[in-house]
Structure 1
């Protein structure tokens, strides 16, 4: 094992931005001021468009349609009826309706009345509806809010909490109102809508958006997306999802058409397929999950020309697949923005040639928006340093409805980052980001426990709060399973200079095949070389060691038995150093490596110490879960044990065998060298500060080993670390020749090429599988740039074959079980609960479903005796066991499949859902089947059974037994008509 992961420098604030970066990343980047009709409301803009194109079709649903004139007249009648019911400014009107022309009429009428509309999805659970309606009443005048619904939905409303108006049943009342234009009571500062999002306290929170904020966004969106064209937009996503706001209003102020789509019962998530197959729209706004669903459709004849993607991380490969699938030119936009910033505040248009990173960038601020990456003191951070994203500008929400305290926490009035003196209102997003050296803003995920599930924002705390209300649940934690790495390219290429492979995220190549890391290195190579010193400098350090020696040893040398540490030891002894060598016996050191160690210490006449801990397996498992490798945990163990051992024996120096390439992976960043005020002498102090944070971080090492010594800063002066290869440069070929001829060292035959440790292959295997590339790719490429390896040597070492059966044995030995991976980036929720007895999954789901929508119901449930805690008493989410077939609670009492069809079907589902066994009564969706897997399941069913299985069959009969009965019926019918027809299964997947 030759790898180490001390803290990266981006965990420490190196300094504040210099003047040049400040102007570029803070001032110029946020120069977004643009004119828009800030004194008007969205109703004013709609009225103006209706006057320009009164006879143009504004909205269509099936064969029904309304022109702009007719739509405005209906909205006028709706507003008149609301006014007669005392609905006006300051009131909130809940809209609990399915997609239809009427729901758009209702929303426009509410806005004309001056009230705010509150969209409730038709699938919202009764308990959640009741919570929202109570909140609206408490936040207004205490009376039940006016609520518009449809006849078939009225039974789902708690009538005691709502003043219910059934639109289709009472339409005669509305039609008697005058259809002529009436003055709108809406004002720019008035609230246009309130969207309730998931809340961390267990209670949904309503985000209030003003007309001015809405107009700012819609005016910008119309300019960017419609660009003077009259486009057809599909209305298919949930009205309670702010992504839909774009589709609802952008066409109505730009002369476009809304085409309404409604999902089939039980298959609402598949309605996007109708949109594509209908081929009646020009542009669509959707989530990456929706886009992934249509990737495999035949898009050669599609009318779609523009895609707006938002709601969650957008993978570059998905954008590429869609671009390739459509023969005509298309535009794909990635739009970022929380509900609190009015739908979208950043945008990036996908570029097939330029966008080479794993995720499509979130781009640049929208009109009149400001985006800032700040530290805890609300100061802008420099490139390479992680900070939290804050948003400013005209799109900010008014705050949270009836939640003054929360509004104060999230919407801050603080010093303007641009000038450092004036005041600016900022929204704290909770999203982490970092500026790259190229001036690109990289989105790094959440800083809290909020996740995205199918594009919807989900607060894990809200699920936990509801689960804790179950009488048998004493404690709980909910997590989202990690999505796998982006699919690797079909053919890996290598940089012509350093050999870094194309499967490493962020790697691009110029026309000569040289990677972006090499190109960047050329711009600061002289500064980087200045960090490294000479053997003479090392000799001076050795003199210092000897002068400070308090016992028989000058230092501790970390000896792994690998080539780097073995060469280091030989050279140090030749320079007159009296070392004590230290090796961690982690339980997997190869016998050949141990033999190398024994020969070296015996031949050199040095003392040796084996360090160990009985908790090594737990540390390995923790490292695999946190970092997808074993090296992080192993080397932190080495550092911890060696530091304690050095202190106990009065030894003031520890020498490591980090390669030069590993410095650039773990300690040095190119941003450091690109600074105008670069000073190599400052790096040592920064590395020390980073080391302090590294040793004080919560993980398995801090749980199982004695880390008290690191709580006092004095230890970092008392025991100093020296990196040998900072002072000594040697090519790999020369190193190996020296070890072979001078030291009696031989490469271990029972491990991979570059390691002394059997378990290291487990880390390589997991890292490649979960993150898509070799975890040595980066340091080896740096070894090549710095002259320590040749390109061919690096590639050769990375291409070792892995012994997978042996890897599986070691994983079982240490107790690591591979997690159930999310498919195609669709997160799965896992609920861990503590209870004195097993609670059935059906009971838990029913309890949660009383108040939570389907997207917030966990896929898997795991019962524990207790939750793992950190030393400060918080739930240690990283230490929760991976959800596996062994610990996931079965959704139903297991009854084995009986018929051949059931057995075949169960085996197919096991493969799709990554589940070990499935019973005849198990439900496809309860086991984690989401929309993408539905598509795959239907295709596989057709291939396997040769019958025309439809999507609706799976939604209507989602158990193995139920669907097997349907398939058997189809097979019988196919046999019965076999002589008279040879028609095979249709290729199109219908709903």
Structure 2
């Protein structure tokens, strides 16, 4: 007997489903363990479990013997579980039709159930809400869903159902057999038999690990047990974990307690090492090297001056210079004097440097003579700053900076004749060791403070994890403004090893990096994925006998996620050099977990885990109410233990938000008496895996990491909106491949006249200039796109998935002009190689084509080599089009030619390039 609907019924059902399903459909699935194959041809696996007799009887009693009531109780509990697993209050699942109707389309055998799980509701209220939703769905079950999918423009895929991933049925009232023909991921079927309830979970084996499905079934039973006899329990108070399950997460997954010298300071430990290995080489930079004793002597002399000038225990002292041996001497001298160092990157925009100098309230600044002129425009308003010490050269007479500001300027003569003996220690393990400024959502960076004991715990934990000895040679490659740089500078010095400092150009150019690793006999190198990719691509093209790195033991990949395919490619070439996937925030002394990969991972594995907690740290995966989440469920990665820092400098609001009292103190790592037991909330999303490792899942907010630098997208958006012609702005991260992240900005003009007055290219250039004045190079978007309005989802939020994809390939050749001169051809060839483009025009913008700060470094290095002229890195940021860049290089060549003429009166011919 067929069911016939009149036109009014069809229209009514159509309107119902449009209201239920229009807009962005929620993602309701377990987190996948493996990459979803394009076509699924594998078998389904099955897991059966029984609800306990008491629990079954309680459900039957609550349902008063009605199978339908039992069904909506079982569905309600599943929706609560899925809310935890999806971090989304909107949940959508498939439910089979309730009555027999004769329809041809298989999609009509199962209909979507869209509900909202609101944590403040009681379980009882939620039951009735689900009941009403099921009844409404069944009242509208006759509509043709193929037609609805077309109407709503819901994309179809051969590897999953277009609307729901999970189907739930009760075999007592539903026909299970047609469900096998659906393209969904998981089917859960319940059965009531003789007063007991059993369940069967069918799942695709190529998507899920067996263990995670078992955990899901266990937590589902926990939810039912928690609230079935206490129906007035709020959803937010439902117990997901039993005591033994909490013990596993809190104790078994966090069971690494080690004894390290965290009651000492870094300077104490260094001085102890000096006494043990005085003649070992401690640090190397280019052609210069110092033994432990020489390094200690020079640090003592500078520390003596700092102490004489008034540096006191816990004072912040700025370092404003490039990384070299003097930078390391400065760090050690500041520690010996009792202070903590604040690195201020000289490549940052002037207003950012000025803010950091002013906000940090440093009274003393260590720098280079060559940067004094730069500082002249930056120290105004820094009322606390009293003394500047040049480390590399003697200051001649009175500098304009000193006359202009009244600052006292000191030089090498003021400290190189002082005593080189160790001075009396005044600092303690609980004192700050350094303060690093991280990106801030309000447009202003935050100063994160880390103590000596936290930094020491990290270093010694890594000594254990990587089995490091006196043979340890570490490549110091990271910018001084990153937490990565801290232990690169200091770790070798506490064990008798070598710190090998190289400039950013060496690191950014694969050939130079490879030569440095080989010639300096590096045992540990730490790279962000973008640099790791470059090195891998270079070495993979070398003959087997030339690519050997016999001294390298560990390749650490940090800063942002690395793909499984890259890790496997490395291990194919270097099976003896293990990959270390490390993870950690600046606020908790760098790495807090790491995962060592010593053999290729399964190709279909979705991610490389970030591993288990390092020694003396506790990791938690928590929900928004600071409740422990079950294994497999995504939540915020939080950390407690000795590595947690002292919060943010002069920012109590942010500190109170991110550093909170640890509610799990009974199982946390023991801390010194003078330390509060705090949890740092990283803002990162992760989940426990069944084996106790953690999987990183991205940012909860819109903060990301680009090439190792933490970037707050809101900070970039704030500055974009400061332009008078911009009404709204949004910045996202796009990936052309998993290891190549790029920032893309979208801006909406403020008024119609702004649209008319400013062409797209003119506005983009103005915005790029604005950002260059305020932000470091790694925070400049690779593309800035003008749009008429930001796309919104039905809820009114910005629909980031609907933003147009930028055309990095620059395929529109309306304005294409080919290179006209030999110089333009040389630059174009270099860009083509670095940006991996087919062709480059003279008006193409390096950054619009996908360039970023690391690629800019590579480009500048090749330009210097090609033109035999010193091209500053900032040149490319100031002249980003090919034509502008060539014009700048030609001016540099002209100046260089005139200088040569003035030196000997002879006009030197240009040997290689004729402009």
TM-score calculated relative to the size of structure 1: 0.57
Q: Verify the 8 A CA contact 2:594 2:610 in the aligned structure 1.
A: yes
Task: State the Cα distance separating 1:939 from its structure 2 match.
Answer: 14
Task: State the Cα distance separating 1:120 from its structure 2 match.
Answer: 1.5
Q: Equivalent residue for 1:240?
A: 481
Equivalent-residue separation in structure 1 for 2:613 and 2:446 (angstroms): 26
Match of 1:288 among 520, 529, 551: 529
1:313-712 map, 5 Å? 313-326=561-574, 329-353=576-600, 357-416=605-664, 424-484=677-737
Equivalent-residue separation in structure 2 for 1:202 and 1:951 (angstroms): 37
Q: Equivalent residue for 1:834?
A: 749
Residue deviations 1:529-560 (CA, integer Å, cap 9, x gap): xxxxxxxxxxxxxxxxxxxxxxxxxxxxxxxx
1:133-144 map, 5 Å? 133-137=357-361
Task: State the Cα distance separating 1:117 from its structure 2 match.
Answer: 0.2
Counterparts in 2 of 1:905 and 1:116: CA distance versus 1, 3 Å: closer
Task: State the Cα distance separating 1:919 from its structure 2 match.
Answer: 3.1
Task: State the Cα distance separating 1:354 from its structure 2 match.
Answer: 5.4
Task: State the Cα distance separating 1:68 from its structure 2 match.
Answer: 0.8
Q: Equivalent residue for 1:109?
A: 333
Q: Equivalent residue for 1:76?
A: 300
Q: Equivalent residue for 2:379?
A: 159
Counterparts in 2 of 1:153 and 1:359: CA distance versus 1, 3 Å: farther
Task: State the Cα distance separating 1:840 from its structure 2 match.
Answer: 3.4
Higher relative contact order (CA 8 A, sep 6+): 1
Equivalent-residue separation in structure 2 for 1:361 and 1:468 (angstroms): 37
Q: Equivalent residue for 1:875?
A: 798
Residue 850 of structure 2 corresponds to residue 928 of structure 1? yes
Q: Which moved more, 1:430-439 or 1:243-252?
A: 430-439
Equivalent-residue separation in structure 2 for 1:885 and 1:239 (angstroms): 31
Equivalent-residue separation in structure 1 for 2:691 and 2:163 (angstroms): 25
Q: Equivalent residue for 1:897?
A: 818
Equivalent-residue separation in structure 2 for 1:279 and 1:212 (angstroms): 30
Task: State the Cα distance separating 1:925 from its structure 2 match.
Answer: 4.1
Match of 1:145 among 350, 353, 363: 363
Residue 247 of structure 2 corresponds to residue 89 of structure 1? no
Counterparts in 2 of 1:830 and 1:50: CA distance versus 1, 3 Å: same
Residue deviations 1:540-596 (CA, integer Å, cap 9, x gap): xxxxxxxxxxxxxxxxxxxxxxxxxxxxxxxxxxxxxxxxxxxxxxxxxxxxxxxxx
Equivalent-residue separation in structure 2 for 1:900 and 1:421 (angstroms): 66
Q: Verify the 8 A CA contact 2:492 2:499 in the aligned structure 1.
A: yes
Q: Verify the 8 A CA contact 1:938 1:951 in the aligned structure 2.
A: no
Equivalent-residue separation in structure 2 for 1:54 and 1:214 (angstroms): 23
Equivalent-residue separation in structure 2 for 1:235 and 1:278 (angstroms): 15
Q: Equivalent residue for 1:199?
A: 440
Task: State the Cα distance separating 1:419 from its structure 2 match.
Answer: 6.0
Equivalent-residue separation in structure 2 for 1:220 and 1:83 (angstroms): 32
Residue 463 of structure 2 corresponds to residue 215 of structure 1? no
Q: Verify the 8 A CA contact 1:55 1:67 in the aligned structure 2.
A: yes
Residue deviations 1:311-331 (CA, integer Å, cap 9, x gap): 11022222222233237x223
Gaps of at least 5 residues in structure 2 are 1-155, 167-185, 187-211, 224-239, 395-410, 671-675, 891-915
Q: Verify the 8 A CA contact 1:276 1:294 in the aligned structure 2.
A: no
Equivalent-residue separation in structure 2 for 1:840 and 1:921 (angstroms): 16
Counterparts in 2 of 1:326 and 1:438: CA distance versus 1, 3 Å: closer
Q: Verify the 8 A CA contact 1:482 1:827 in the aligned structure 2.
A: yes
Q: Considering fraction of residues, name the structure with more strand.
A: 2
Counterparts in 2 of 1:953 and 1:359: CA distance versus 1, 3 Å: farther
Match of 1:129 among 344, 353, 357: 353
Counterparts in 2 of 1:830 and 1:915: CA distance versus 1, 3 Å: farther
Equivalent-residue separation in structure 1 for 2:669 and 2:526 (angstroms): 40
Task: State the Cα distance separating 1:359 from its structure 2 match.
Answer: 2.9
Task: State the Cα distance separating 1:219 from its structure 2 match.
Answer: 1.8
Match of 1:853 among 764, 773, 776: 776
Q: Equivalent residue for 2:424?
A: 183
Residue deviations 1:479-525 (CA, integer Å, cap 9, x gap): 1113535xxxxxxxxxxxxxxxxxxxxxxxxxxxxxxxxxxxxxxxx
Q: Verify the 8 A CA contact 2:508 2:531 in the aligned structure 1.
A: no
Q: Equivalent residue for 1:796?
A: none
Counterparts in 2 of 1:917 and 1:101: CA distance versus 1, 3 Å: closer
Task: State the Cα distance separating 1:106 from its structure 2 match.
Answer: 0.7
Equivalent-residue separation in structure 2 for 1:904 and 1:400 (angstroms): 48
Task: State the Cα distance separating 1:922 from its structure 2 match.
Answer: 2.4
Q: Equivalent residue for 2:72?
A: none
Task: State the Cα distance separating 1:431 from its structure 2 match.
Answer: 1.1
Q: Which moved more, 1:16-25 or 1:345-354?
A: 16-25
Task: State the Cα distance separating 1:367 from its structure 2 match.
Answer: 0.6
Equivalent-residue separation in structure 2 for 1:258 and 1:203 (angstroms): 33
Counterparts in 2 of 1:271 and 1:114: CA distance versus 1, 3 Å: farther
Equivalent-residue separation in structure 2 for 1:127 and 1:442 (angstroms): 38
Equivalent-residue separation in structure 1 for 2:793 and 2:649 (angstroms): 35
Q: Verify the 8 A CA contact 1:262 1:271 in the aligned structure 2.
A: no
Q: Verify the 8 A CA contact 1:133 1:145 in the aligned structure 2.
A: no
Q: Which moved more, 1:305-314 or 1:951-960?
A: 951-960
SS in 1 for 2:522: coil
Aligned length: 616
Equivalent-residue separation in structure 2 for 1:343 and 1:262 (angstroms): 21
Counterparts in 2 of 1:861 and 1:380: CA distance versus 1, 3 Å: same
Counterparts in 2 of 1:964 and 1:106: CA distance versus 1, 3 Å: closer
Q: CA RMSD in A?
A: 3.9
Equivalent-residue separation in structure 1 for 2:770 and 2:859 (angstroms): 29
SS in 1 for 2:425: coil
Q: Equivalent residue for 2:74?
A: none
Residue deviations 1:378-406 (CA, integer Å, cap 9, x gap): 12112232211111111001101111111
Q: Verify the 8 A CA contact 1:222 1:251 in the aligned structure 2.
A: no
Counterparts in 2 of 1:151 and 1:364: CA distance versus 1, 3 Å: same
Q: Verify the 8 A CA contact 2:612 2:692 in the aligned structure 1.
A: no
Task: State the Cα distance separating 1:873 from its structure 2 match.
Answer: 4.5
Q: Verify the 8 A CA contact 2:317 2:340 in the aligned structure 1.
A: yes
SS in 1 for 2:640: strand
Task: State the Cα distance separating 1:831 from its structure 2 match.
Answer: 3.9
SS in 2 for 1:481: strand
Task: State the Cα distance separating 1:25 from its structure 2 match.
Answer: 2.4
Q: Equivalent residue for 2:164?
A: 6
Residue deviations 1:4-58 (CA, integer Å, cap 9, x gap): 3326699998541234432222221111221111210111110110011111111
Counterparts in 2 of 1:292 and 1:106: CA distance versus 1, 3 Å: same
Q: Verify the 8 A CA contact 1:233 1:282 in the aligned structure 2.
A: yes
TM-score calculated relative to the size of structure 2: 0.61
Q: Verify the 8 A CA contact 2:685 2:696 in the aligned structure 1.
A: yes
Residue 264 of structure 2 corresponds to residue 17 of structure 1? no
Q: Verify the 8 A CA contact 2:477 2:507 in the aligned structure 1.
A: no
Q: Verify the 8 A CA contact 2:476 2:499 in the aligned structure 1.
A: yes
Equivalent-residue separation in structure 2 for 1:61 and 1:331 (angstroms): 26
Q: Equivalent residue for 1:37?
A: 261
Task: State the Cα distance separating 1:171 from its structure 2 match.
Answer: 0.7
Equivalent-residue separation in structure 1 for 2:319 and 2:812 (angstroms): 38
Equivalent-residue separation in structure 1 for 2:293 and 2:611 (angstroms): 38
